[in-house]
Structure 1
Amino acid sequence: MSGGAEGRDRRRVRHPAPAGLPDARLLSRRPRAVVVGGGIAGLAAATALAERGVAVELCERQGHLGGRAGSWTETLPDGTSVSMGRGFHAFFRQYYNLRALLRRTDPGLRLLAPVPDYPLLDAAGRVDTFRALPRTPPWNALAFAARSPTFTPRDLLRLDARAALPLADVSVPATYRRLDHMDAEEFLARLRFPAAARHLAFEVFSRSFFAPPDRLSAAELAVMFHLYFLGSAEGLLFDVPRVPPSGLWTPLGDRLAALGARVRLRTAVGAVRPGPDGFTVEIGGEDVRADAVVLALDVPALRELVAASPALGTPRWRRRIAALRTAPPFLVRRLWLDRPVAADRPAFLATGGLAPLDNISVLERYDRDAAAWALRAGGSVVELHAYAVSAPREETSARLLGRLHEVYPETARAGEVGEFTEWHEDCPLFAPGTFFDRPAVAGPAPGLVLAGDGVRIDLPVALMERAATTGWHAANLLLSGWGLAGHPLTTVPLRGRLVPARWRGGAVPPVPAGL
């Protein structure tokens, strides 16, 4: 079975493409765009532009495409070449715009495999699952709570229904006006959510943003809950790549080249200088003229490039870029073990209350390369994640291994054929009170746009889907300015399915002072 099923949610929202000419070659002069960054956002923007005949140059300073969702080749001590990346990525069925990008080279999404379940394990040994739940809200949430060993009827009766109303009526940006002033932990406390159950319904989502609940905006949590749980009827399960992530992104780079774009890996952009007729972009020490620039970078790289481009943008915009913050570090440790984990171990296990461990992936359950290695070696490829890390790298890495042995005891007897560790601090932090200061897709000057998962867009999207959506939207803004046709977008419903009557018609609670 592939992950290529079309969207099932009849209430998903289709946003029409801007109208215009079908190809830039019909214009009196063909525009030229430089896309800085070859992650998901950059690939989406470059694809959207190149498909309309724009001359595109895509620059990526790493040696691979895909950004934080990419992969590369490493060598084990025995000389075996293996794939390594920055961690597990879930391709949810409601990631419509990301999946539209992947369909450019994999129309049936045959490179994605459905995960039948992803259990959630807490420190008391209780396990919740998403297997065989109804797809449609609110029945999905009710069925999950009814069969959960973590929730009890008494817990459900204690919930503050009034405090939970914002979860039933999520919209963007109204939800940020209501909730962005508080952190997710305070919001959970107001709900009177039982402590033992918080990691199941909220903290697993919170930490997927690489931030602990006390540093994450409550509005971001609510929008996330809408996207994955109460706003979408696509279900709570997801797909994973059957191949190392490079197998998803490299074909998109090849397609861009076939469309006439220039894809430059291991190429840094030093500065962007605006001029009277466009921009001069310093690419690998060479000045390149462009009519438009797409900045599709992670937070540290964006801050660095804008700081190195003193004439770019307005002072207010530059201050917003400089103020962007990154989430705490995260660590990914991938192990090649000389014996297999137990046959009943799931492909993906999320954990709560077992710090610093946040999840365990068994790669041979879905990745063909890992499965081939495991078959040859008689072992397993296991990946451990720790998000929002507060301890030093080596301490965290050692504790992760201890937790693996505790959760999957059979691994304590396994030897390590090899291991690689990734430690990064470059994910955006969605802290309370920051939404309205985030830079938007439209830049401060004609021809300058931003894209990425840290960029503001007033649609209910998150993580990889936010990166893809901002990439398409950034390209649409440029294409529209040149009189060219854009690309349609699709999202989950823009309003909660369970809208309380007192909020219908657009009324919202008062905005707290100071926002």
Structure 2
Amino acid sequence: MSAHPVDPRRVHHPPAGGLGDAGLLGRRPRAVVVGGGIAGLAAATGLAERGVVVEVLEREPHLGGRVGGWSEQLPDGTPVSMSRGFHAFFRQYYNLRNLLRRGDPGLDRLVPLEDYPLLDAEGRLDSFRGLPRTPPWNAVLFALRSPTFRPADLIRLDPRAAAPLANVSVPGIYEALDHVDAASFVESINFPPAARHLAFEVFSRSFFAPPSTMSAAELATMFHIYFLGSAEGLMFDVPDDGFDIALWEPLRHYLTTRGVTFRTGVAASSVTKDHSGVFHVDHSAGGSTAEAVVLAPDVRGLREIVAASPELGTADSAVAGPDALGRWRDDVAALRSAPPFLVQRLWLDRPVREDRPPFLGTGGLYPLDNISVLDRYEHDAAGWAARHGGSVVELHAYSAAVPPDADEDAWTAELRTRCLARLHEVYPETAGARIVGELVQWRADCPMFGVGGFARRPTVATPVDGLVLAGDGIRIDLPVALMERAASTGWQAANRLLAGWGLAGHPLETVPTGGRLGPLTRAAGYAMRPR
């Protein structure tokens, strides 16, 4: 991957100091990490690099969690790469990138996509190509050149309602906006309807949730991360091959050389802690013991493990207090998953047009949310396309909740049919293509960031000494989201355990932690004051 400028105003968050290696303690602490996704791998890396003995338990047969990759077969027996769908590795994902550098120091397996075009049902197209990097001119120029946003629309914007977008801080933005849904917030700004569809909905659906059910604070935070708070912009990179090959196998090798043990295909079921301070993790391969545990499964997995561990924390209740322990359990139980989503990968016997972008976001074309042409950047797909004169295309349908009276299998089949019809509508050259192979993922395991949920979202720290949480559904009071939130909580989980042993932690980096636009930020602060 070619080098690119980095925002000079990114914020460095130094860790606590301490010893550089656990060997200096005279013993090496042991930790079990439950979950081999981004969060768990970041935590395992942070611990292992300080000499902690680490065991990683992962329910799936592969690493990476929701960014995992694996091999499957087409009907003719051809092995192909498969995953749970497209992921954009944005330049401001500093902590995720630092994790990936452990296995790929130059990030050579990430290749840039130069644009992120958005298409609506009327055929209007937005583009992020060629935007300035400096806020707020990046957002202003994007709006002014958008076919859905006329210059007169700028005059109609409500500056008081829009003020939080220019004055984002965490957790302050949640205190201001978490009680409002994203759809109502954008409407209150007087954004033109077409622009809401094409721009803001794309952000909200990154969380696999319709804007009407998602917290406006999450939307404002994303706007800060990608526009008004960062000079990295919306350009991003993608792995040049299957996620397993490009990302996780190199990282596995790096960690294995540092003594990390991986047990894939092993599901953790419960955790207990005895009065001597030793944790016992029960799992499908028996059990493991350790002095510390990182719980980094998906939301459902976390709920189930905590619910199946009624004695967890009783040894610490004298310090933490039974009320604190009970509230924590209730907060974990209250976590919810976002509506299900569909990933439909198609191997077609003819290519799409050469001018089609590698990735296209869509708005107002229900149920289709985006189209990826994988053979434009992924080696496995490109090889198949070259051998067969075809193409590998992936379709996404986000927040595709099953209607109450519908059969799930029938509904999934209907979504596949509808998405295929939309592909033919958007890329007509695919209408006559024969489908050589089709693989489908139907999942419902992404965290839900609903209205009013932030205050009780569990944090990395827990009332149980030696037990920490990590994942993109876990609260961290930094401006991070999606994969970067997973990585950041993983590093923070490791740091908290390391500090308890007197070991040095690892630094974190983020976009600026508050509004960076002097006069605009002050004006936003004035506009947000009660009148």
- Common fold by TM > 0.5: yes
> 1:402-449 deviations in whole A, cap 9, x for unaligned?
000000000000001100010011100000100010000011111100
Alpha-carbon distance in structure 1 between the residues aligned to 2:485 and 2:500: 22
Q: Write out aligned runs for 1:8-407 (5 A).
A: 8-247=6-245, 248-276=247-275, 277-313=277-313, 314-391=325-402, 392-407=411-426
Instruction: State how far apart, in whole Å, the 1-side matches of 2:291 and 2:397 are.
Output: 42
| Cα deviations by residue, 1:283-324 (Å, 9 ceiling, x for unpaired) | 334232211000001111111111111112422111111110
> Distance between the aligned counterparts of 2:415 and 2:175, measured in 1?
37
Aligned Cα root-mean-square deviation (Å) = 1.4
Secondary structure at the counterpart of residue 164 of structure 1? helix
Q: Is the 8 A contact 1:338 1:417 kept in 2?
A: yes
Question: Identity, % of aligned pairs?
Answer: 66
Contact map agreement 1:4 1:110 (CA 8 A) in 2: no
Q: CA deviation at 1:60?
A: 0.3
Between the aligned partners of 1:239 and 1:111, the Cα distance in structure 2 is 9
Distance across 2 between alignment mates of 1:4 and 1:435:
36
Paired position in structure 2 for 1:449: 468
**What secondary structure is seen at the aligned counterpart in 1 of 2:281?**
strand
**In 2, Cα distance between the equivalents of 1:347 and 1:309?**
46
CA distance in 2, matches of 1:195, 1:390: 23
CA distance in 2, matches of 1:245, 1:3: 20
Q: Does 2:452 align with 1:433?
A: yes
1:504, distance to aligned residue in structure 2 (A): 6.0
Structure 1 CA distance for aligned equivalents of residues 185 and 331 of structure 2: 26
Q: 1-side partners of 2:528 and 2:155: how far apart?
A: 26
Q: Is the 8 Å Cα contact of residues 441 and 474 (structure 1) preserved in structure 2?
A: yes
Residue 338 of structure 2: SS of its match in structure 1? coil
Equivalent AA in structure 1 for residue 289 of structure 2: R
Aligned partners of 2:160 and 2:524 also within 8 Å? no
C-alpha distance in 1, partners of 2:295/2:214? 25
**Aligned residues of 2:164 and 2:524 also touching (Cα < 8 A):** no
CA contact (8 A) 1:9 1:233 kept: yes
The SS at the match of 2:430 is helix
**Displacement, 1:8?**
1.4
451-460 vs 228-237, which moves further: 228-237
CA contact (8 A) 2:167 2:525 kept: no
Cα distance between partner residues in 2 of 1:200 and 1:137: 20
- Give the structure 2 partner of residue 501 of structure 1: 522
SS at structure 2 position matched to 1:455? coil
Q: In the TM superposition, what are the counterparts of 1:469-480 in structure 2 within 5 Å?
A: 469-480=488-499
Asked if 2 retains the 8 angstrom alpha-carbon contact of 1:59 and 1:267, the reply is yes
TM-score, reference length from structure 1: 0.96
**What TM-score, normalized by structure 2, do the two folds share?**
0.94
Whether the aligned pair in 1 keeps the contact of 2:266 and 2:285 (CA below 8 Å) is no
Q: Is the 2:111–2:237 contact (alpha carbons within 8 Å) kept by the matching residues of 1?
A: yes
SS in structure 2 of the partner of residue 189 of structure 1: helix
C-alpha displacement of 1:252: 1.1
Does the 8 A contact of 1:211 with 1:328 survive in 2?
A: yes
Deviates more, 1:373-382 or 1:138-147: 138-147
Distance, in Å, in 2 between the alignment partners of 1:475 and 1:292 is 10
AA partner of residue 273 (structure 1) = T
Instruction: State the Cα deviation string for residues 352-377 of structure 1 (Å, max 9, x = none).
Output: 00000000000011001110110001
Question: Structure 1 residues 171 and 263 mapped into 2: Cα distance closer, same or farther (>3 Å)?
Answer: same
Q: Please name the residue that 1:513 is paired with.
A: none
C-alpha contact (below 8 Å) 1:340/1:378 kept by paired residues: yes
**Contact 2:156-2:190 within 8 A present in 1 as well:** yes
Amino acid at match of 2:400: V
Which amino acid letter does the alignment assign opposite residue 289 of structure 1? T
- Give 2:440's match in structure 1, choosing from 421, 444, 450: 421
Aligned residues of 2:349 and 2:434 also touching (Cα < 8 A) = yes
For 1:508 and 1:478, the matched residues in 2 are separated by: 39
Contact 1:439 1:456 in 2 (8 A): yes
Aligned counterparts of 2:271 and 2:360: Cα–Cα separation in 1 = 44
List per-residue Cα deviations over 1:238-292 (Å, max 9, x = no partner): 0011011002012111211110111111111121001222311113342322110
Asked if structure 2 preserves the Cα contact closer than 8 Å seen for 1:135 and 1:236, the reply is: no
3-state DSSP class of the match of 1:209? coil
Secondary structure class of the residue paired with 2:17: coil
Q: For structure 1, which segment, 274-283 or 316-325, has the greater mean C-alpha deviation from structure 2 after superposition?
A: 274-283
Partner AA of 2:496 in structure 1: L
Report if aligned partners of 2:515, 2:521 keep a CA contact under 8 Å in 1.
Answer: no
Q: Could you list the runs of 5+ residues in structure 1 that have no partner in the other structure?
A: 511-515
CA contact (8 A) 1:119 1:130 kept: yes
Q: 1:210: how far off?
A: 0.2
Cα offset for 1:155?
A: 1.6
Unaligned 5+ runs, structure 2: 314-324, 403-410
CA distance in 2 between partners of 1:431 and 1:137 (Å): 28
